[in-house]
Amino acid sequence: MTIELLRIPQTFHTVDEVLATAKQLNLTNVLVLSELEDGRLVFLETEMSVASTNWLLDRMKTLLLMPSSFEKTK
């Protein structure tokens, strides 16, 4: 079974571009992960359960480790 990955566009250049695209997609469960210049981590999320947050993070880790298990959509 292939899982579809939606990437519109492939890369972003600014935080504003990322957030504007997320807003246009009407996303419901959202995680924002980042690192400040001093090394502190930033973790923002919509009102999600710990289980939902962990599930989403696990799926993203799978994408990073095994990208061939995902099929890009157009």
E-strand ranges in the chain read 3-5, 31-35, 41-45, 70-72
Question: Tens digits of per-residue pLDDT, 54-66?
Answer: 999 998 898 888 8
Is the pLDDT at 3 greater than 60, yes or no? no
Looking only at the bridges linking them, the beta strands covering 41-45 and 70-72 are: unpaired
Q: For residue 2, give every residue at least 6 positions away whose Cβ sits within 8 Å of its Cβ, in sequence order, or none.
A: 69, 70, 71
- % of residues, the chain, pLDDT over 70: 81
Domain extents for the chain? 3-72
Inform me whether the pLDDT recorded for 22 exceeds 90: no
How many Å apart are CA 19 and CA 30, to the nearest integer? 11
Mean pLDDT of 15-25: 88
In the block, tokens 């009102």 appear at: 47
Q: Examine the pLDDT at 73 and tell me if it is beyond 70.
A: no
Rounded to the nearest angstrom, the gap between the alpha carbon of residue 57 and the centroid of all alpha carbons in its chain is 8
